[in-house]
Amino acid sequence: KRERYFPGKRLWLYVDRVGLSAKGPQIILSRTHKALVKHIMEVEIPEIATGEVEIKAVARDAGFRSKIAVFSDDKNVDPVGACIGQRGARIQPVMEELAGERVDVIEWSADPIELLTRALQPAKIGKMFIVNDEDFKDEESGKFVKKRVAVFVEEEDRAMAIGKKGQNIRLATDLTGFEIDMYNLDEYEAFMKQFEKMQAEES
């Protein structure tokens, strides 16, 4: 989504990098970098500024939608509520600074299943199976393999889980670090049998 700028308009900008060009010093500024969302949240939300609420991860489709995972080790603080505010009063100024970009806030969890379930909202997840829970280098092929999860949803929830043009699943992947394979819920048993067979062959 393109923004329109005019003389005198005040904008939040992220300093992406500073370097030297043939014409001299060069500063590259960005409105699309996901760190910009984090910085605006730090300014607009007091609990983030004071450290009561921590931003654990940010995923962004600039101009359209961001997903942010937040956490607080203070049991008396609701990290999501602190960011959204009553009737969206706190998150609204953040979205306005981002020219109307939608900002979804979820609570971060150290449990990958819980985190992935929240990251894929608003879709309802039927079952989930973690294929591998950490990145590794395959010794045979020498290829780098990312952590991966198989997600099973009812057929009517599949489109929502994937999102328009794959946006929801892409943001969830970026937010959690997991490559996500999406299946219909009725494929779960066949998938597990195939996975167990492959594991037996490898052992």
With b meaning 16 or more CB within 10 Å and e meaning fewer, what string describes 110-121?
Answer: eebeebbbbbbe
Residue 127 neighbours by CB under 8 Å, 6+ apart: 151, 152, 185, 188
Q: Nearest 5 degrees, angle CA 70-CA 74-CA 79? A: 30
Task: Give the CATH class of 32-108.
Answer: alpha beta
Residue 143, pLDDT score: 77
pTM value? 0.85
pLDDT at 145: 73
C-alpha dist (Å) from residue 105 to 10, 163, 168, 185, 187: 26, 17, 13, 27, 31
32-108 and 110-203, same CATH topology: yes
Predicted pLDDT at 135: 77
Delimit the domains of the chain by residue range. 32-108, 110-203
CA-to-CA dists, residue 66 to 44, 47, 183, angstroms: 16, 20, 24
Q: What are phi and psi of 33, to 5 degrees?
A: -65, 140
Those residues whose C-beta lies under 8 Å from the C-beta of residue 118, and which sit 6 or more positions away, are: 69, 106, 107, 109
The CATH class, in words, for 110-203 is alpha beta
CB 187 within 8 A of CB 134: no
- Asked if residues 80 and 105 have their Cβ atoms less than 8 Å apart, the reply is yes
Report the pLDDT value the prediction gives residue 2, as an integer from 0 to 100: 66
Burial class (CB in 10 A: 0-12, 13-18, 19+), 26: exposed
Tell me: the pLDDT tens digits for 77-119? Answer: 999 999 999 999 999 999 999 999 999 999 999 999 999 999 9
pLDDT computed for residue 1 by the predictor:
61
Give the residue ranges of the chain where pLDDT is below 50: none
